[in-house]
Structure 1
Amino acid sequence: MLVLLPPSEGKTAPAAGGPVLDLGTLSAPALNPWRERVLDALAEVSRRPDALEVLGVSAGLADEVARNTRLRTAATAPARRVYSGVLYAAAGLDRLTPAQRARATATVRIVSGLWGVVTPEDLIPAYRLSMGTTLDGVGALASGWRPHLGQVLDTEVADGVVVDCRSAAYAAAWRPAQPSHWVAVRVLREHAGRRTVVSHHAKHTRGLLVRHLITRRSRAPRDADELAGAATELVGTALTTASRADDTAVPRVLAVELDAPPRSGARQLSLVVS
């Protein structure tokens, strides 16, 4: 099993005084030459007057863009602590037992516009860069990373199932060469007999699935059908721990459905929520 995650937009900057960035310690060292190029290109554009426009961020994130110019000397922390968005809060990769953490390190890969791919234990600084960005000297990041990620991830996938929780921009950077067990996770909202694709609760629900796959005691799923079976164990799970007077109003996982194999591309694992 290989679980693919996007990075979170929000990141927690590591405390000063921690170890500084050392590309030589990151997993997938074959990616380091391209990581070097992207790092240099990001630092260069982040010094420009039009940096906010090129990186597609608002003026309120100017300090984070400025931090991009100092990444080589910035303090680092495990990626599971740096990425701090809704999906990561639900996945709780920083709240695992040693055995579960080892399982996460072996199976979870975070696809990044800056690093290509990292494990939850790789030491990285906080940064601001989306996979949808185009950088001078590098080009569009998704297409630039594609051949390099293929060399790394095609080997890691082997014949196991790929649990794809990435957004479209990050999915564009790599697709399994043999997609027979490639499963994209989507979240549907069911209301009054209708189902719609929603963003609300989607990241949180994907995070719950990731945590379940990492912490469950059973053998890791080996194919799409076993993945669907594992995901079905979440049916009835509440999507929030907030106390409410009427417990029936708490959103929950209602059902799990696996689409039939397509002619090409990923199968869809749908988590239906109330």
Structure 2
Amino acid sequence: MKILLAPSETKRSGGSVSFNLSTLLFESLLPHRTKLLHTYINILQKGDMQVLSKMFGLKKESDILKYKEDIIHELTMKAIERYTGVAFDYLGYEKLDANTQHYIDSHVILFSNLFGPIRASDLIPEYKLKQGEAVGDIKTEKFYNEHSAALMEAYLADDEILDLRAGFYDKFYKPQKNYTTLKFIKDGKVISHWAKAYRGIVLREIAKAGVETLEEFMKLPIEGLSIQEIQTKKNKTEIIYEIG
């Protein structure tokens, strides 16, 4: 089983290993990633605050200037540690034992707005790119869909898929084979912000239990959640959780 996870706008600073673009998932994507990264770096170096503000989704000049760096020469950390949004806070990767961390490293694929599909264990530098914003004339979601969707299909051919991403990331890759997603409701209403937290919680519990199949996942008790309904339409199965 492989688990698809969205990235986060917020990221942890620092790192310990030099960046090597060729080590990321799918070596055949290297020329495409290189093209995109060169475009990104050229924009940083031109230093047009209006362009950077839009690309970063930031307004304060002091915040924008923080990211005016050549990220090729920045230090890296695991992608799963780099991201610090709500889902990642509730996952709490750094607090998990080595076996649980290894499960996440080997089962989770993240969809970076800049680097495309990457393993949780792939080493990436700190960067800033607002979801849905183009890098120059490159719409990254369309770019990676064109160059990596077929690679993802082949990579996941023998795996069941649990998709914990927000809907936007279907634009990067939408499974053509059967896959499973989650929806969280409370008092009859679909929740959005807290859905991020519960995705982190669900991933944490899956990893701690070492779940390898969707059947095992369906039987996994998760505190505060109960399965209310399971809906299947075409190749998508949606598990609807009631938050108790």
Shift in CA distance, 111/52, structure 1 to aligned 2, threshold 3 Å: same
- 1:273 is the counterpart of 2:240: no
- List 4+ stretches of structure 1 deviating above 4 A: none
CA contact (8 A) 1:7 1:110 kept: yes
> Which residue is 1:140 aligned to?
139
- 1:256 is the counterpart of 2:233: no
Q: Give the superposition deviation at 1:80.
A: 2.1
Q: What letter corresponds to residue 256 of structure 1 in structure 2?
A: I
Structure 2 unaligned segments of length 5 or more: list them. Answer: none
CA distance in structure 2 between the partners assigned to 1:73 and 1:14 by the alignment: 12
- 1:227 is the counterpart of 2:197: no
Query: Which secondary structure does the structure 1 equivalent of 2:43 belong to?
Result: helix
CA contact (8 A) 1:27 1:122 kept: yes
* Alpha-carbon RMSD: 2.2
Q: What letter corresponds to residue 43 of structure 1 in structure 2?
A: I
Q: Give the superposition deviation at 1:77.
A: 1.2
CA contact (8 A) 2:88 2:200 kept: yes
CA contact (8 A) 1:52 1:59 kept: no
TM-score normalised according to structure 2 size: 0.89
> Which residue is 1:247 aligned to?
none
The aligned runs of 1:16-165 (5 Å cut-off) are 18-46=16-44, 47-55=47-55, 57-60=57-60, 63-64=63-64, 66-67=66-67, 69-137=69-137, 139-165=138-164
CA distance in structure 2 between the partners assigned to 1:65 and 1:55 by the alignment: 13
Q: What letter corresponds to residue 41 of structure 1 in structure 2?
A: T
Q: For 1:62-89, what per-residue CA distance to the aligned partner results, in whole angstroms no more than 9, with x for missing partners?
A: 5356525410111211112211111011
Aligned residues: 242
Which one scores higher on RCO, CA 8 angstroms, separation ≥ 6?
2
TM-score normalised according to structure 1 size: 0.80
Q: What letter corresponds to residue 263 of structure 1 in structure 2?
A: K
CA distance in structure 2 between the partners assigned to 1:186 and 1:163 by the alignment: 12
Shift in CA distance, 117/85, structure 1 to aligned 2, threshold 3 Å: same
Identity %: 21
Q: For 1:131-188, what per-residue CA distance to the aligned partner results, in whole angstroms no more than 9, with x for missing partners?
A: 4122224x2211110132223321222243211111122221101122x2x1122211
CA contact (8 A) 1:131 1:142 kept: no
CA distance in structure 1 between the partners assigned to 2:198 and 2:153 by the alignment: 27
Structure 1 unaligned segments of length 5 or more: list them. Answer: 238-251
Q: Give the superposition deviation at 1:206.
A: 0.7
Shift in CA distance, 262/61, structure 1 to aligned 2, threshold 3 Å: farther
